[in-house]
Structure 1
């Protein structure tokens, strides 16, 4: 029996808090899950530093990847007897769904920004490189690993396959919204996925939704909108991300200026040198990062030691609302005053911005083109979602941006009384407009 058709003698299941069970019948999928590259995802948190805001958010990329696979498996099960679905693509869809996040590094996006990395690039390297994953995929058939990489890269010729994993209503989003809501304990991310799966239909180049399911899709879109602003862009989480990024920047700066670490940062050297090979990348997970952060609390460099102690013990920066278009003069003055009082503003005065576009219609030629969600009308015609839904139309194409200014309030309190301190306190509105709880913030 060809490897691609090889089924397990007995179906394997993973108990899952979101989907109840994740079902595995294909030997290829079972073998991929067992590889070191996929098991590494157990050591990468799905929500990065959000566990410092929502204490239940300890779930991993491993959990999420299994969830995306399960949703795609169920979608395909609904498509099997429908026109325009080629069941020869079944295993390709399942493998791409399972492996789509394979290249995420520790603390994901924060880590990528500091070291100018791209997790999608490393996902493809893992799939196409000298790895256990690649060996297994090639046993399905010569060139099969390239097909999987192309689906994840969104360049595969069958756009219907790509849309299952990467679109404005895909298995990736449907899993992470529900999973992240479950583990953070919020209600925003819940929507009627069962209904959406029932009304999904395959057409030539994308998945569409029967018009009778429009209200379930509206709920999904609004759930995503709420999750981004209530969870993903939570200001306390962003404070932790600011400190995390400043730790990595400081360690890189010290390395480049011949600082003698008490423990040589072996696992970071290729990252500091911006010459990261696949082997180095796979060796660095969050358990290793935490190990260094724990040790760096004892470093002689005061800034690195302080930032690591803050991160490890959740002594985060405080914040105020900040409008860079109207308050840049105040920021320049704050920067000068921080220097004057002996606080390095490059590490302790940080503007952080977050923005999201919850839903967009098709804008040909624009950066990051987004294929819209189409409704399949009773007469067989397609209608773009926002043309039918007043709710979705109200947020379509509207990017919302939020800016915060982060700083160590505890350090400012310890400053000797001076005109500089008084001016800092005035500019930061600490007494009048304090936002952000001392411990847990909603």
Structure 2
């Protein structure tokens, strides 16, 4: 039997707290799981700094990737059983697409790096681009496994993740507004954070999913399960993903990496600034010549080890930020609006007077998300809308028949915050600092930045 269709002698399972079991039947899937690039995902947290708020959130990109694969496998099984293609072009499921779908689901996050989103911001990397590179680079074990299927198979898998694959059913199964990725991470993140916001009826969603010519739709009888999914995602963003303390720790991490980048960049250009400790795995990123191999050497543990070294660094900012990150000393924050934004320079000035470098001890962060976005072709990256299939086979867009979804469609959730040292809220009575603290605090009430008239506007 050729490698594409080779099954394991006996089905292998991974015990999983979300799906109970993850079932692996294909040899190629097991071989991909055993590659060093995929095993690296065990060492990368799924939610980055969120574990510093929800202490149970220690799960990894590895477990999420297995979960995404498992959801995609169940969808393929359902489509094969209930909607098999009978004639070419009939819009039903062609099961020859199964393996490329499962591989793309398993590998969709293979390019995530150490504290990925924060790291990307500082070093201008892109996990989606790295995902494609890892899949298509002949030097990776992942690529070597995929090439056993066929020489062009790595490119096919990568094209699913980049949304260029010609079959929209396969693409939407992995990336859409209800896909295997989102279904797993909502349930998994909800479980590990100890919250219930992300729970929804996965079994019902999978039952009402069905293929059609232009992608994937949902039987209209399952509209309430779809509504529940949209609301669950909405709640998870507000209550978990946008948590201000998690964002605060991201800001500290960002400034810590920024400071390290500046220090070692200076040392590279000026021999008089050479340092005793060299973070070798980060140097390619400081020097802007990193390769895929350099990227794959990094994980959360590598960065944390460097942060521990920097706790004793002679640079006071690098030293302090490392301590703040490792020992969870978050910045405080205040919400602001366009009307109160003009006050931020004044707040930064007061923070400078209190002895803090505002470059490293203040930050602006906005976290916004659309809980559901009806298709708009004029946008840069239009989202695939959720289609419901009626009993006569016609399609309707979700928000046109759901008052609940219509109420939140296009409504941005989230806020914009200004971060600053907790000491600025001190009630210290010393003559030197008390006036500064008092003036700073006069602009803030209940975590909201007030305008000159004392209102939020």
Which category of TM-score, normalised to the shorter sequence, fits these structures?
over 0.9
- Cα distance in 2 for partners of 1:163, 1:429 equals 50
Does the CA-based 8 Å contact 1:199-1:213 persist in structure 2?
Answer: yes
Shift in Å, 1:255: 1.3
TM-score by length of 2: 0.92
- 2:160 is aligned with 1:151: yes
Higher deviation after alignment, 22-31 or 265-274: 265-274
Q: What SS does the aligned partner of 1:134 have?
A: helix
Moved more, 271-280 or 352-361: 271-280
Pairing 1:419-430 to 2, within 5 Å after superposition: 421-429=434-442
- TM-score (normalised: structure 1): 0.95
Shift of 1:354: 0.7
1:266-285 alignment runs, 5 A limit: 266-285=280-299
Q: Look up the match of 2:94.
A: 86
* Residue of structure 1 aligned with 2:263, choices 245, 248, 254: 254
Q: What is the CA distance between 1:89 and its match in structure 2?
A: 0.5
Q: 1:432 Cα deviation (Å)?
A: 4.9
Q: Is the 8 Å Cα contact of residues 96 and 151 (structure 1) preserved in structure 2? A: yes
- Report the counterpart of residue 264 of structure 1 in structure 2: 278
1:415, distance to aligned residue in structure 2 (A): 7.6
**SS at structure 2 position matched to 1:80:** helix
Counterpart in the other structure of 1:239: 248
1:215 equivalent among 224, 233, 242:
224
1:305 paired with 2:319, answer yes
Deviation at 1:278, TM superposition (A): 0.4
Distance 2:121 2:431 in 1: 37
Partner Cα separation in structure 2 for residue 215 and residue 19 of structure 1: 22
**Alignment pair present for 1:173 and 2:182:** yes
Q: 1:438 maps to which residue?
A: none
Partner-residue secondary structure (3-state), 1:406? strand
Q: Is the 8 A contact 2:38 2:110 kept in 1?
A: yes
- 1:61-101: CA deviations, max 9, x gaps? 00000000000000000001414111101000000000000
- The residue aligned with 1:187 is 196
Q: Which moved more, 1:259-268 or 1:299-308?
A: 259-268
Describe how 1:23-422 pairs up with structure 2 within 5 A.
Answer: 23-81=23-81, 82=83, 83=85, 84-129=92-137, 130-258=139-267, 259-323=273-337, 325-410=338-423, 413=426, 417=430, 421-422=434-435
CA RMSD in angstroms, aligned pairs only: 1.7
Deviation sequence 1:332-376 (CA, Å, 0-9, x none): 112223333331001112121110011111111311101100000
In structure 2, runs of 5+ residues without a counterpart are 86-91, 268-272, 449-457
- Deviation, structure 1 residue 405: 1.6
TM-fit CA distance, 1:319: 1.6
* Distance in 1 separating the partners of 2:377 and 2:434: 52
1:412·1:421 contact (CA, 8 Å) conserved in 2? no
Q: Does the aligned pair in 1 maintain the 2:238–2:413 contact within 8 Å?
A: no
The residue that corresponds to 2:15 in the other structure is 15
Please, which moves more after superposition, 261-270 or 49-58?
A: 261-270
Kindly provide the CA deviation profile for residues 383-413 of structure 1, in whole angstroms up to 9, marking residues without a partner as x. Answer: 0000010000001111234012211123774
- Specify the SS of the correspondent of 1:151: helix
How many angstroms does 1:328 deviate by? 2.9
Residues 200, 232 of structure 2: 8 Å contact kept: yes
Aligned-pair distance for 1:37? Answer: 0.2
CA distance in 1, matches of 2:49, 2:443: 25
The count of residues paired between Structure 1 and Structure 2 equals: 434
Structure 2 Cα separation of the partners of residues 429 and 71 of structure 1: 52
SS at match of 1:15: strand
1:24 is displaced (CA, Å) by 0.3
Q: Secondary structure at the match of 1:183?
A: helix
Q: Secondary structure at the match of 1:140?
A: coil
State the alpha-carbon separation in 1 of the partners of residues 326 and 341 from structure 2: 32
Secondary structure at 2:396's aligned position in 1? strand
User: In the aligned structure 1, how far is the partner of 2:323 from the partner of 2:6?
Assistant: 51
